[in-house]
């Protein structure tokens, strides 16, 4: 129960702020929506829903398999290489970026799109400068092997990890 509460709290604060509160603020909230939806607004539902599904699937794997949270101070105790982590090393970040892209499309907002580009750059720099070295130190050879087999952001064609 405590692990569930920690994951819920982290999700509401960090990804909630990055993927929901800030983009909605930049877009002007529901006042920023056009009075009548067109194809762009309906198309936005796909990255919004996909991004949420990706994030929560990864969150489940972190909690159920890794026995931890996405928070660096309470990271999983086991290296999570199942689920979407078989295809890319950072699917949770990809999920958050999909949600931001969905908001940009829904609101037709260049500001939200620009914000998403900045968030993507920050994610990349954090992963390369902090997260990967931490995981390498914690999981040693298994993380190195995982990095050789699975791409950081894009799946590697023909090189998929088994479940």
pLDDT digits (tens, 9 = 90+) for 16-75: 999 999 999 999 987 888 888 999 999 999 999 999 999 999 999 999 998 888 888 888
Please check whether residue 70 is in contact with residue 136, taking contact to mean a CB–CB distance below 8 angstroms.
Answer: no
Tens of pLDDT along 69-93? 888 888 889 999 999 999 999 999 9
Architecture of domain 2-149: Up-down Bundle (1.20)
Q: For position 162, what pLDDT does the model report?
A: 54
Helices (H), the chain: 2-16, 22-27, 39-64, 91-107, 110-126, 132-149
Whether the full predicted model's pTM is greater than 0.75, yes or no, is yes
Domain spans in the chain, listed from the N-terminal domain onward: 2-149
Tens of pLDDT along 106-158? 999 999 999 999 999 999 999 999 999 999 999 989 999 999 999 999 998 76
Q: What angle do CA 140, 144, 149 make, to 5 degrees?
A: 150
Q: What region does 28 belong to: left with phi over 0, alpha with psi -120 to 50, or beta?
A: left
Q: Please say if the pLDDT value at position 163 is more than 70.
A: no
């Amino acid at each position: 129960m405590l692990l569930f509460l920690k994951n819920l709290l982290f999700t509401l604060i960090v990804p909630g702020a990055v993927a929901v509160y800030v983009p909605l603020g930049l877009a002007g909230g529901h006042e920023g929506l056009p009075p009548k939806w067109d194809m762009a607004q309906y198309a936005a539902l796909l990255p919004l829903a996909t991004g949420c599904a990706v994030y929560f699937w990864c969150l489940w794997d972190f909690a159920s398999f890794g026995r931890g949270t996405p928070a660096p101070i309470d990271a999983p105790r086991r290296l999570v290489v199942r689920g979407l982590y078989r295809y890319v090393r950072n699917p949770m970040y990809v999920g958050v970026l999909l949600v931001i892209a969905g908001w940009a499309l829904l609101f037709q907002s260049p500001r939200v799109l620009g914000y998403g580009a900045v968030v993507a750059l920050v994610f990349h720099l954090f992963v390369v400068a902090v997260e990967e070295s931490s995981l390498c130190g914690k999981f040693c050879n298994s993380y190195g092997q995982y990095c050789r087999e699975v791409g950081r952001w894009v799946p590697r064609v023909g090189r998929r990890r088994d479940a």
